[in-house]
Structure formats: structure tokens, C-alpha cells
Amino acid sequence: MNLTIINPNRLDQCTRRIDEYARRWFPDIDISVVAPTFGPRELAGEYETQLCATGVLDQITGADPTTDAFVLAGFAEPGTEAAREVAACPVVDITEAGPMRALLFGRRYAIITSTRAVIPAVEDRIRCLGLDQRALPISAVDMGVAEMLDKPDDLAGAVERELHRLARAGHTGAVVLGCGGMTGVAERVAIPDGITVVDPVRAAVATAAAIVAEQSNRTESLI
């Protein structure tokens, strides 16, 4: 099985982090992690977010034809529907896979994203996907992706504080890490009792692998 994960920003450190954890989590899957060759280096707001979509689509149209599925590793980034139009295989967006998995762990779920500036875009995307009815208000650690990568201890501390705030408030069974730059941080924090932390990259790869396996089984049954 060959899966391609597309990191929408052009931060090499972010691409490497996603690659490191994806390979560790799924050692039996042939995983490639790529990023656009043009476009914004970091997605700090709506302007850069909109610009990155073309670069992501370029990675899909130019991908190895043996790719069995794509995972889009940008949270609330545009282009998922367009990617599904041009891709010859399944496309799984972490913005869908993360919350969908979180819904299995409780009546309500929360999302912790990067900065307050991106919260409106995340809210819009979650609403568009029909995943807003059971979502609590979105919160942020107030760190951009580059800062997250440069200061992993600060990121872990900020995420942990927000997890404990949500635990004290109650009403949530799961928390989604709403940024690809947070990949792997769940392994570095003390998670409060009663809360499941969902890494959306991990959830998306697992979902993509399940879809590919199901399609393969269906094809074999027709032979």
C-alpha cells in the first residue's frame, strides 16, 4: 500500500516531523510525505491559506501513479474538493478524519489549533463539513507552525494547559490537535483523565489505509 501525505506549507522541518511520526505509527505502509514546490512558506492567515491550494493540487496531479491514497495534512486548508476531482484515488483530509474519530469518544469534542487568527477559517471548514453541531468553541495555543517546530517544549506546555482547561470545564470526550505542525505532540504531554487526544494526521492515515484495504477486498471479491 502506497500513501502520499501532502504538507501544505513549505517548512521542511514540518514535512520531516510528519514523515517521522507517520512512518513510526504505520511501519507496514509505504508512506511518502511531500510539500508544494511553490507558494507560501507558512500559512499564517486566510491569504496564505488560499494561495497554498494550487501547490497542493500540483502535488496530486504530478504524483506517482501507483499512489493508493492521498492524505491532506493541512487543518482547514482549502482544496479538498478540488483534489478529489483530479485524484485517481481516495483523498482523506485531516480536517475530516480528526473530528470524525473524536466523535467516537464522547458527545462533544474540542479542537486546539495554532493561532487565534486561523480560528474563523477552522470554524467555517468544520461547519461546511457538517461537523460543527457537536464541536465546542475552538481554542488556540497562539503559536505559528514555525514557532511550534522551533519551540517543541513551549508547544507541549501550551497544549497541556489547554487540555487541562478543557478537562476542568467538562463536556468533552476528545480533543483534536487542529494543526499538522502539532503532529506527535500528544506523546509529549500529560493527558487528563477522561479525555482522548486525537492526532488528525494519524487518524487520516488510518482512515486512508482502511479505505484502500476495503476497496482492494471489494475488487478481489469481484474477480
pLDDT range class, residue 44, cuts 50, 70, 90: confident
Residue 216 in any domain: the answer is no
Residue 103 in any domain: the answer is yes
Alpha-carbon distance 169 to 80, whole Å?
33
Q: Which CATH number does the domain housing residue 119 bear?
A: 3.40.50.12500
Residue 210 in any domain: the answer is no
Do 106 and 147 fall within a single domain? Answer: yes
Residue 215 in any domain: the answer is no
Do 100 and 197 fall within a single domain? Answer: yes
pLDDT range class, residue 221, cuts 50, 70, 90: low
Residue 217 in any domain: the answer is no
Per the structure, the complete domain to which residue 138 belongs is given by 96-201
pLDDT range class, residue 33, cuts 50, 70, 90: very high
Do 25 and 63 fall within a single domain? Answer: yes
> In the chain, how many domains are there?
2
Residue 212 in any domain: the answer is no
Beta strands in 18-166 (DSSP E): 30-34, 69-72, 91-93, 109-113, 139-140
Condensed to tens digits (0 to 9), the pLDDT of residues 191-205 reads 999 999 999 999 999
Q: The cell 486512508 sits on which residue?
A: 208
CA angle, corner 97, sides to 121 and 200, nearest 5? Answer: 80
Q: In this model, does residue 223 exceed pLDDT 70?
A: no
Residue 152 in any domain: the answer is yes
Over the chain, what is the mean pLDDT? 93
Q: The cell 471479491 sits on which residue?
A: 221
